[in-house]
Amino acid sequence: MMIARLSPIFSAAFAIAYVIIEQNNLALFTYHPRINEWGWLMEPSRNGPGMYWFGWLGSSALVAGLVSLVSVPLLRNRPVPSIMGWAVPLICMVLFVYLLRAFFFR
Amino acid sequence: MVVFLLILHGLCAVALLGAITHQTFAAWWPARKAIGFTPSFRAVQGAKFTNAIVILFIITFVLGAVIYPPYRLTGRTYLETMRMWSVNGSFELKEQFLAIGLGMLPFYWHVWRQSLDDTLALARKMTSALLFFAVWFGFITGHVVNNVKGIM
């Protein structure tokens, strides 16, 4: 079952993409909560703060989906190591602790 | 409406906490006999919790996303004004941990669906442990943030 075989790749790709996208603010869309408006890609704040988290999730899902699709012909009958599915997310979570450390040392 | 959704978000999170805690303990520290409270807590068939955990995670996540904008406008602004950086940073970590958890759900479902496959035993333990950590961290952080400044 291809979807099951691709799940560790999707999991790893999503985590890596999310870190890169969050750090570079490559949001697929922006939400402006004060005026209840949406905009494509990263937009500067409009009359209040802009929210990019929804856009980061969208970008990450898109990238992870594309990476999974591209890996289909490359995989053929090769086994996908299951460690990818949990070790990469674990590393990315630890990486976020490091990247956000400034909040805790002010 | 926001308060209702916040309470619903919290209640779903409690149900999710129970399920993921049962499953994680059963995976890491299985009990042979269900005698007494602690062994009974661990003597569950972890695989039977999988679908419930996936559904509860998604529902709780979506509810959290719906009430996130009011938090951004009131709660976070307050935290920044009051210079409560560690609380603010904990919420930032919460959203990143849970986003990574969301991306891991298909793999999590896949490894727990094949509960008899011994080659995936470590993957089952680790995916449950990561979701366990993310959900507990998110729950405690959400509680602390709401205690500091509710979204009213």
CA of A98, closest CA in chain B: separation in Å? 10
Q: State the Cα–Cα distance between residues B42 and B51, nearest whole angstrom.
A: 18
Asked if pLDDT for residue A1 goes beyond 90, the answer is: no
Q: Which residues touch B11 (CB under 8 Å, ≥6 apart)?
A: none
Predicted-assembly ipTM surpassing the 0.90 threshold? yes
Which residues have CB under 8 Å from B55's CB, separation 6+?
none
User: Which of A63, A79, A86, A61 is closest to A6 using CA atoms?
Assistant: A79
pTM: 0.93
Q: Does any CB of chain B come closer than 8 Å to the CB of residue A53?
A: yes
- B83-130 pLDDT, tens digit each: 889 999 999 999 999 999 999 999 999 999 865 677 888 999 999 999
Write down the pLDDT at residue B152. Answer: 55
User: Which of A86-90, B48-52, B60-64, B112-116 is predicted least confidently?
Assistant: B112-116
The predicted-structure confidence for A91-105, as pLDDT tens digits, reads as follows 999 999 999 999 999
- Residue carrying the six token digits 């904990």: B90
Q: Please tell me the predicted confidence (pLDDT) of residue B21.
A: 96
The residue of chain A nearest to residue B110, with distances taken between CA atoms, is A4
pLDDT tens per residue, range A17-76: 999 999 999 999 999 999 989 999 988 888 888 999 999 999 999 999 999 999 888 877
Within chain A, how many helices (H) and strands (E) appear? Answer: 3, 2
Q: What is the pLDDT of residue B85?
A: 93
Task: Report the residue from A10, A51, A89 with minimal CB separation from B130.
Answer: A89
